Structure 1
């Protein structure tokens, strides 16, 4: 993506002077096509922005296609400064996504009883069962379950919530016309059909990659006040989510095991370092 320097943008009428260099040309063009006024986006002159975008006609065509295809697919796009942009994302400042793309029950974004249940995509049967049971238990109490639609613990958490007739949010790293991983296509459909929500900062057509997968972890942490780590290695995407959860002031919990191995060494690290509280089963 090509980025343009922007000195400030507005959020509900308030400037955030720390949001410089946040929008790509693609994002600016999408915002324009969404009928957003340049004065609401940044402090640059409208003429200057129009001239910059005019230098990249292919970008305009691409952005128009994205907006049209997402509308056809019932995908909702919320820009950073819109009134319905979730406060939970706005509060993370420069790490907040410029645009979020939603498929499903938008109202879940504003639920204050959301809990993230996360863990390794390579979890063993014990870890997957714990993720399922924890999600089912919290869903029965009325909590919205947030996870990342990955294989392993994430999939089990989403399924446990659904089986309890609860609502779940999947934060993904691809455009919403692409399911990642492909093996979870039926699960994604079930989440939507059962009143859940799929959310991404990536537009139509963008595939997940390691950088985007790590970036989405901050959004999982931002959405909740409580994060539960079921099972993970020390070096893992789950630990990256824990980093952001700690940074954003979330309460962190980790399942305590009688014995630790490569599957749950991250849990041991979290507990030994005092980063999180133990969940004893």
Structure 2
């Protein structure tokens, strides 16, 4: 990252730490929504926030130092490393992304999102694993959420096939959730994978963050594959985002359908997803 980009990153983090509203931050830092300033020899718009920049500067520098210690890379919205696929979220894309691992996966030419319920039955768990395995064998990067159940099985399937897998999490990267996935997280990184978050260090678990995370799962992928989900599963949040962004959705079929797979039945019968099998 050049000195200019590094300084802009510190300014962005400082204003976040100072509590500036997201809308204002987008106006200041998002190159696709910011109108060019007129050549009137006026001071840059950022100068209007000198007090906030001063108040948040120390916390921003501390955050950067801590990220450096933990091997965490930052991808601000104005940097070349920011993933192009997220730009289709428009104003809903994160201002900063935090990552551990192989950041090149963010621009992989082939990426499949495999998601499903946290409580699959045996058939659903096996299906998630097989989807991850098959996707990795085909050369695709497997994207999932590192959650219990189908997400974890998709990651494991990809690793078993010798592939790379990208986990999008809903906490800071210094927090492992669920805790029992610490070993899976490390295996993912050891084998050339990536763990990604829009949240800074220290941010813990909150229900709404998982819903927000779902938009990133969909937007980073070329296709969303539903291994197994019920009618009240959070997986359907990811499907809704994918359909809104015109990203293809597919779903596994089951014979017979159970409570854990009623969401798949709904998606297929309503024509909202194509059948995987």
**TM tier relative to shorter chain:** 0.7 to 0.9
- Between the aligned partners of 2:59 and 2:263, the Cα distance in structure 1 is 42
Residue 112 of structure 2 corresponds to 115
Please tell me whether residue 61 in structure 1 is matched to residue 58 in structure 2: yes
Structure 1 partner of 2:232: 235
Asked whether the equivalents of residues 112 and 224 of structure 1 are also in contact (C-alpha less than 8 Å), the reply is no
Instruction: Judge conservation of contact 2:28–2:45 (CA < 8 Å) in 1.
Output: no
1:202 aligned residue (199, 203, 214): 199
- The C-alpha deviation readout for 1:167-188, integer Å capped at 9, x for no partner, is 0000001111111110100000
Corresponding residue SS for 1:189: helix
1:8 paired with 2:27, answer yes
Structure 2 residue 205 is matched with structure 1 residue 186: no
Determine whether 1:106 maps to 2:123.
no
CA RMSD of aligned residues (A): 1.8
Q: How does 1:26-175 map to 2 (within 5 A)?
A: 45-54=45-54, 57=55, 59-175=56-172
Q: 1:3 to 1:262 in 2, by over 3 A?
A: farther
Aligned length: 251
- Are 1:222 and 1:248, in contact at CA under 8 Å, matched by a contact in 2? yes
68-77 vs 258-267, greater mean Cα deviation: 258-267
Alpha-carbon shift at residue 112 of structure 1 (Å): 1.8
The whole-number CA distance in structure 2 between the counterparts of 1:46 and 1:257 is 56
Return closer, same or farther for 1:44/1:236 CA change in 2, 3 Å cut-off: farther
Q: Does 1:225 align with 2:222?
A: yes
Greater helix fraction, Structure 1 or Structure 2:
2
Q: For residues 148 and 257 of structure 1, what CA distance do their matches in structure 2 show?
A: 23
Counterpart for residue 23 of structure 1? none
Q: What per-residue deviation string (whole Å, max 9, x for no partner) do you get for residues 11-31 of structure 1?
A: 5xx44159xxxxxxxxxxxxx
Unaligned runs of 5+ in 1: 19-42
